[in-house]
Chain A
Amino acid sequence: MGARISRATLLRWAPFLVLIALVVFFTILNPSFFSLRNAARIALAATPALMVAIGVTFILIMGSIDLSMEGAVSVTAVLFATVFLQLGGTLASWAWIALPAAVLAGAVFGMLNGWLHVKLQIPSFMASLAFGFVGTGLALMMTGGDRIRVEDELFRGLLTFRFAGFPLMVWLAFGFVLIAWFIQTRTTIGRNLYAVGGGEELAHASGLNTRRVRVIGFTLAGAFYALGALMAVARIGIAETATGNNFMFISITSAVVGGVALWGGIGGVWNAVVGVLIVNVINNGMVVIGLPDYLQDGVLGLMVILAVVLSTDRRLVSFVK
Chain B
Amino acid sequence: MSTFIRDYIEAQTLSRRKFLLASAAGMGAALAPMGMAGRANAALTDPAMAWSYRDRTNPYWNSIVSGGESFASSIGKDKGFMTHLINEGSSEKSLSDIKAFLSKTGGNCAIACDANDSPNARPVVEAVKAAGGYVSTIWNKTDDLHPWDFGDNYVSHMTWSDEGPAEQTARILFEAMGNKGGVVHLGGIAANNPAIERLNGLKNALKDFPDIELLDAQPADWDTQKANELMASFLTRYGDEIKGVHCANDTIAYGVLEALRAEGIEGMPVVSYDGNLQAVELVMKGDILCTVSTNPYWGGGITSALSYHAAIGTFKPSEEPPEHREFYGPTVLITKADAEEFRKTNLDATPTYDWTDFWGPGNGQIQYK
Cβ–Cβ contact B237 & A32, under 8 A:
yes
Q: Given A159-B261, A293-B219, does the pair A44, B237 have CB atoms closer than 8 Å?
A: no
Contact present for A145 and B237 (CB under 8 Å): no
A283 near B62: Cβ-Cβ < 8 Å:
no
Q: Which residues of A contact B224 (CB under 8 A)?
A: 236, 238, 242
Cβ-based interface call for B192 (8 A): no
For residue A23, give the distance in angstroms from its CB to the closest CB of chain B.
Answer: 13
Task: Tell whether, in the assembled complex, residue A145 and residue B58 are in contact, meaning their CB atoms are under 8 Å apart.
Answer: yes
A163 within 8 A of B: no
Classify chain A: how many residues form its interface, as a range. Answer: 35 or more
Within 8 A of A (CB), among B43-57: 56-57
Chain B interface residue count: which class? 20 to 34
Interface assignment of A155: CB less than 8 Å from any CB of chain B:
no
Task: Given A145-B58, A147-B278, check contact A287 B262 (CB 8 Å).
Answer: no
**0/1 per residue, B224-250, Cβ < 8 Å to A?**
111011101111110100000000000
- The answer to whether the Cβ of B197 comes within 8 Å of any Cβ in the partner chain is no
- B340: Cβ under 8 A from any A Cβ: no
Binding site for B on A (CB under 8 A): 30, 32-33, 35, 37-38, 41, 44-45, 136, 140, 144-147, 149, 159-160, 167, 232, 235-238, 240-243, 245-246, 283-284, 287-288, 290, 293-294
- Check if A235 sits within 8 Å of B233, measured CB to CB: no
A residues near B278, Cβ cutoff 8 Å: 147, 149
Interface of chain A, main secondary structure: helix
Task: Pick 30 A–B contacts, CB within 8 A, sort by A.
Answer: A32-B237, A41-B232, A44-B232, A45-B228, A45-B232, A140-B57, A145-B58, A159-B261, A159-B262, A160-B261, A160-B264, A167-B262, A236-B254, A237-B254, A238-B224, A240-B57, A241-B57, A242-B223, A242-B224, A243-B225, A245-B225, A284-B229, A284-B232, A284-B236, A287-B216, A287-B237, A288-B237, A290-B216, A293-B190, A293-B218
Contacts of B275 in A (CB 8 A): none
B232 touches A140 (CB 8 A): no
- Interface residue? B330 (CB, 8 A): no
Cα distance A287–B264 in the bound complex, in angstroms: 21
Assess A245 versus B218: contact at CB under 8 Å? Given A284-B229, A294-B190: no
Q: List residues of chain A with CB within 8 A of the CB of B232.
A: 41, 44-45, 284
Q: Which residues of A contact B62 (CB under 8 A)?
A: 144-146
Contact, CB under 8 Å: A290 / B57 = no
